[in-house]
């Protein structure tokens, strides 16, 4: 009984000494990416629109790539031809290996060299195909993670380059609050503290724990940032709340 009274007393004293820290925040997506292409070109097809839900590695957009597509077909045919030549060269070489002791050395060396060239030609053909596949992949844009298209900046026929974003992709249901807190509390605010808050346009009370504190102070605002994980809020919302610190 005495132990319980001591615990209650400590908690009451701690509560009395606690300071309420006011903070404003903006709602951000847990993940947000401005998607750009690896090469420039003309947009041939767009597979998604604003609000589209996408899976990781889903095709979002494709550039005009008929020339690269044709070169891929040719590269595949070159591999088939190189394999046929290698098979023929190996058979010839194997025949001469069996009679090496009774044939002219120069002739044997020629067949041996032809066999080695055929192996090299096949490896070169495979390397060429790999390179062409890489070029083809650069004409396509795929989702780096599952999410929803928040913004679309291109239309069919547009010319794009590697510095111009074509989509903004965000996580739809997982957000984070980016809090701005007065710098005088930088030693008191810790990961795990509970933040109670409201968002504009919603009378509901929310709460969440601080998941990250930023290591630097914003010199112009004399404040620092912390993050609180949230769910099912709209990205871009503004709000305010309080957290208790000792």
How does pLDDT run along the chain (246 residues), one tens digit per residue? 565 555 444 444 444 557 899 999 999 999 999 999 999 999 999 999 999 999 999 999 999 999 999 999 999 999 999 999 999 999 988 887 877 766 678 887 888 899 999 999 999 999 999 999 999 999 999 999 999 999 999 999 999 999 999 999 999 888 999 999 999 999 999 999 999 999 998 989 999 999 999 999 999 999 999 999 999 899 999 999 999 888
Q: Please report where in the chains the tokens 């993940």 appear, as a residue.
A: 31
CA distance 82 to 193: 66
Provide the pLDDT for residue 13: 42
Provide the pLDDT for residue 1: 58
Phi-psi region of 2 (alpha: psi -120 to 50; beta: other; left: phi over 0): alpha
Provide the pLDDT for residue 172: 85
Nearest CA to 145 among 56, 60, 33, 50?
56
Give the Cβ contact number of residue 239 at 10 Å.
Answer: 20
Q: Please report where in the chains the tokens 């010199």 appear, as a residue.
A: 219
CA distance 110 to 106: 6
Dihedral sign of CA atoms 137, 140, 141, 143 in order: negative
Three-state DSSP state, 228? strand
Provide the pLDDT for residue 4: 57
- Domain extents in the chain: 17-31+171-245, 32-64+139-170, 66-136
Nearest CA to 72 among 11, 164, 158, 139?
139
pTM, whole model, 2 decimals? 0.72
Provide the pLDDT for residue 10: 43
Burial of 9 (0-12, 13-18, 19+ CB in 10 A): exposed
- Class level of CATH domain 32-64+139-170: mainly beta
Provide the pLDDT for residue 111: 81
Pair 237, 193: CB distance under 8 Å: no
Provide the pLDDT for residue 246: 80
Provide the pLDDT for residue 17: 58
CATH code of domain 17-31+171-245 = 2.40.30.170
Beta-carbon contacts of residue 28 (< 8 Å; ≥ 6 apart): 175, 176, 177, 178, 235
Nearest CA to 169 among 43, 17, 58?
58
Helix-then-strand count for the chain, H and E: 3, 14
In b/e form, how buried is each residue of 188-214, taking b as 16+ CB within 10 angstroms? ebeeebebebebeeeeeebebebeebe
- Class level of CATH domain 66-136: mainly alpha
Residue 212 exposure: Cα atoms within 13 Å on the Cβ side: 11
């Amino acid at each position: 009984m005495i132990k319980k009274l001591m615990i209650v007393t400590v908690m009451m004293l701690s509560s009395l000494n606690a300071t309420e820290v006011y903070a404003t925040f903006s709602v951000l997506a847990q993940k947000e990416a401005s998607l750009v292409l690896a090469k420039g070109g003309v947009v041939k097809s767009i597979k998604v629109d604003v609000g589209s839900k996408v899976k990781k590695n889903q095709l979002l957009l494709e550039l005009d790539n008929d020339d690269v597509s044709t070169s891929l077909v040719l590269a595949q045919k070159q591999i088939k031809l190189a394999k046929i030549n290698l098979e023929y060269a190996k058979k010839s070489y194997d025949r001469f290996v069996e009679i090496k002791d009774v044939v002219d050395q120069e002739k044997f060396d020629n067949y041996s060299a032809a066999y080695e060239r055929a192996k090299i030609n096949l490896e070169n053909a495979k390397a060429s195909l790999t390179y062409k596949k890489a070029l083809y992949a650069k004409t396509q844009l795929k989702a780096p993670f599952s999410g929803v298209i928040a913004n679309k900046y291109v239309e069919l026929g547009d010319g794009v380059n590697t510095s111009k974003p074509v989509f903004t992709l965000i996580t739809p249901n997982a957000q984070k609050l980016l809090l701005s807190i007065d710098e005088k509390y930088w030693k008191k605010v810790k990961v795990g503290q509970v933040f109670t808050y409201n968002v504009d346009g919603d009378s509901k009370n929310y709460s969440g724990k601080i998941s990250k504190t930023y290591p630097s102070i914003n010199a112009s605002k004399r404040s620092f940032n912390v993050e609180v994980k949230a769910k099912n809020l709209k990205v871009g919302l503004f709000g305010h709340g309080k957290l208790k610190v000792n």
